[in-house]
Structure 1
Amino acid sequence: MDRLPTRLWIEALARRAQLSGASAFIVQHGDDDRGDVLIKVACLNGNAAAYAPSMNLEGERIFLNLAMQGIGPDEASVDEYVQRAKARDRDLWIIEIEDREGRTFLTEPVEN
């Protein structure tokens, strides 16, 4: 099965967020077809979370909350991680969602 181009997936995520009253910004434009994704969700109160794709045991795409790796909940630590990720991968898509409720708007499962 072919994978949806990353650009289209990112555009759909941003649209879901905007339709729900949140804001979504593309911080870094990655490879249109196969770029990896890093999502920052800022709660606008000094807290934030970072989410990165992974695969579960069944081979399905999921997103991991990077808090389990010590990233967040303070926005400064999430921003530091985002900057390091940005520097090491030019094909990485970075999207920031601003939502007071901390919603990710992902349709894929999220593991905390």
Structure 2
Amino acid sequence: MMEPRLASHMLVSGLIRQAEAHGGFAAVLRKGDRTAGTILLLRREKGQNPALFERFPSLDGPTSWMRVTIEDIDIEQKTSEYLDRRVARDPDIWILELDVPSAERFTAILAAMN
């Protein structure tokens, strides 16, 4: 039996509130399907070090956030290109940018949302 899950817009709202509660900033870069759209997180630490995360189902139960690997060479351009490709393939996708003071706070945000 499948576990019920939060609608995408509710999860995005929770992520925004958690980012703000942890001293960060959040912005919706692209709105997707309110109910079942995939969510990509673009994490920055004080405006630097972009990293992408996506939520994947796991075999043993709940979903988990996994980092999307992108080459470190010209990461800003590669990240932008990756996001453009994902939007072209999945028009229902959400893209949320979280700018947090530290990686530890970002980890706490994701933990609070599982």
Report the TM-score when normalising by structure 2: 0.80
Shift of residue 87, structure 1, vs aligned partner? 2.2
Secondary structure, counterpart of 2:55 in structure 1: strand
| 1:61-100 map, 5 Å | 61-67=63-69, 70-72=70-72, 74-100=75-101
Q: In structure 2, what is the equivalent of residue 17 of structure 1?
A: 19
Instruction: Please state which structure has a larger fraction of its residues in strand.
Output: 2
- Partner Cα separation in structure 2 for residue 81 and residue 91 of structure 1: 16
Give the alignment partner of residue 26 of structure 1, picking from 25, 28, 41: 28
The corresponding residue for 2:61 is 59
Q: How does 1:98-109 map to 2 (within 5 A)?
A: 98-102=99-103, 103=106, 105-107=109-111
2:30 maps to a residue whose letter is Q
Preserved contact between residue 30 and residue 93 of structure 1 (Cα < 8 Å):
yes
Count of aligned positions: 106
Q: Deviations over 1:35-89 (max 9, x none)?
A: 11111002223x211001112230320111112xx35583332222112212221
Distance (Å, rounded) in 1 between the aligned partners of 2:100 and 2:77: 17
What percent of counterpart residues are identical?
A: 26
TM normalised by structure 1 equals 0.81
Please tell me the residue identity of whatever aligns with 1:80.
Answer: E
**Aligned Cα root-mean-square deviation (Å):** 2.0
Letter paired with 2:110? L
More helix by share: 2
Unpaired stretches in structure 1, ≥5 consecutive residues: none
Change in Cα spacing, 1:95 to 1:5, as seen in structure 2 (3 Å) is: same
Rounded to whole Å, the distance in 1 between the matches of 2:34 and 2:13 is 11
Unaligned stretches of 5+ in structure 2?
none
Distance 1:97 1:12 in 2: 12
